[in-house]
Amino acid sequence: MWSVVPSLVDVLQGLSVVFTQPSFVTHGEVLLGWLMCLGQRTEFRVFEALRGCRVSRRKRHPFDRFYSFFSRSAWTVEKLAHEVAVRLVIGLNLRGELHLIVDGTLLHKSGKHVFGIGWFYDPVASTEKRVATALGNKWVVLGLAVSIPGTDKIFCLPIHAMLQQPGKGQPSEPDLARQMLADVLEWFPDRKLLLVGDGGFSAKNLLCDLDPRVRYVGLMRADAALHDTKTARRPKSKPGPKPKHGPRLPIPRKAAKKADLARSKNSRWRWKTIEVYAYGEKRKFQVCTFQAVWPKVLGARPIQVVLCRALDKGYDEIYLYTTDLTAEPEWVVETYARRTAIESLFKSSKQVLEIQKPQHWCQASIEKLAPWVWLMQSVVVMWYLTEGRHLPEARAARRPRAAGPKRHPAGADAPGARDPEGHQLRRARRSL
């Protein structure tokens, strides 16, 4: 029988207020089985790992208590997310503004009786010329970006997740992101927040009437309808309502072309070369900044637009914006580049923790299991960063290994791996 190391028990004890005493015991056992399972992480295989031996499916299995933890237990995702978020901020000693990243991910599922299943856009299978869809559960995840002291690594630790239902009339990704953002604002009433999202979250139902404590950095459409922040003077004799914004500006794509043709230093459309740390190394970009109004998304609130063109091959021209009018373009580019941390999070949860393997179908299990795995992923990473990395087993796992056959690039055990969070999860597993 496996047992949890004492330092991890202390971390898990802080979550006991979410569960009843029997459910809390089951919670600790299921977490340990999930981490130590050597086969595919279906629910049955995870529960088998707790017993340490095979269980025949032909006979009545003794796992009803574990199945009921997700399908019938009284704990809620919102309360667990609240406690995990507070423990992360306290345990990692995060001060000042909290950096949040929001994104959606698709967990592949099949079966006509699976709750919330539908056909959604699959970003992994899609290309520039072909848009792919896949069958599964679509989740919107809100993560806390954490900078690791002494390194240039950024981890994204999930603190909230909500299921997006298929069909018309259901809350969209921006709607769910707004609900989760409201929860975080309530959890941390004295903190300012920085929220980063991709183009799918540049929507009025998320950003209109944004809380004053929140700064936003996002991706803009190439054909966004922008207007000048200064309204033109209007004769009093001219009838009609007073304009709410200035004249129309060129769309971002055309503004970038104007910057290509600009020769005067006083031109509004002029490129500036900057060097920032983005996507794992120092890179050079050309940027063109100006203030504008995007009525369809942010109403009359002025924003700062940053046209960004990478000077390195392999990176497209993108159009960024922020609600912080005083932000430097270097900060905007670096901040948006950190959004890749949530993509590493999804990769590690699917490849290391195998979050797509469970074959459950009822509503309660669907709504609880995936958020539980993401939240426990945050707890385990926090434990490793604070306590677990000091254990002798963790130090042994970090020692250089003897030369041998070249490992597959997807294996995150290699130095300088692209998935540092998955690397930390593997080390944490060895520590346990």
The tens digit of pLDDT for each residue in 153-182 reads 899 999 999 999 999 999 999 999 999 999
pLDDT recorded at residue 412: 37
Residue 414 banded pLDDT, cuts 50, 70, 90? very low
Q: Judge whether 203 lies within some domain.
A: no
Same domain, 295 and 355: no
Q: How far apart, in Å, do the first and last CA atoms of the chain sit?
A: 13
Q: Which of 116, 31, 33 is nearest to 374 (CA)?
A: 31
What are the φ and ψ backbone dihedral angles of 163, each rounded to 5 degrees?
A: -85, 130
> Rounded mean pLDDT of 312-317?
80
Read off the DSSP letter of residue 321: E
Cα torsion through 291, 294, 297, 302, rounded to 10: 40
Q: Judge whether 296 lies within some domain.
A: yes
When divided into structural domains, the chain yields a total of 2
Statement: residue 68 has pLDDT above 70: yes
Same domain, 6 and 102: yes
Report the chain's mean pLDDT, rounded to a whole number: 89
* Inter-residue contact 375 to 159 (CB < 8 Å): yes
Identify the three-state secondary structure at position 146. Answer: strand
> Rounded mean pLDDT of 2-19?
90
pLDDT recorded at residue 222: 95
pLDDT recorded at residue 425: 66
Cα torsion through 124, 298, 330, 143, rounded to 10: -50
User: Among the residues of 262-361, which ranges form H helices?
Assistant: 295-298, 329-337, 340-351
Non-local (6+) Cβ contacts of 5 within 8 A are 388, 391, 431, 432
Between CA 284 and CA 202 the distance in angstroms is 26
Name the domain boundary from 332, 358, 376: 332
pLDDT recorded at residue 416: 33
Q: Judge whether 212 lies within some domain.
A: no
pLDDT recorded at residue 420: 62
pLDDT recorded at residue 432: 60
Same domain, 151 and 266: no
pLDDT recorded at residue 124: 85
Same domain, 163 and 46: yes
What are the φ and ψ backbone dihedral angles of 48, each rounded to 5 degrees?
A: -65, -35
Name the domain boundary from 314, 332, 350: 332
pLDDT recorded at residue 4: 82
**38-48 pLDDT, tens digit each:** 889 999 999 99
Both tokens of residue 187? Answer: 């959890």
pLDDT recorded at residue 312: 81
Residue 289 structural domain: 220-233+241-332
Statement: residue 404 has pLDDT above 60: no
Statement: residue 117 has pLDDT above 50: yes
pLDDT recorded at residue 279: 85
Q: Judge whether 287 lies within some domain.
A: yes
Between CA 181 and CA 140 the distance in angstroms is 12
**Comparison of pLDDT for 430 and 11, the residue scoring more:** 11
**234-282 pLDDT, tens digit each:** 777 777 777 778 899 999 999 999 999 988 878 889 999 999 998 888 9
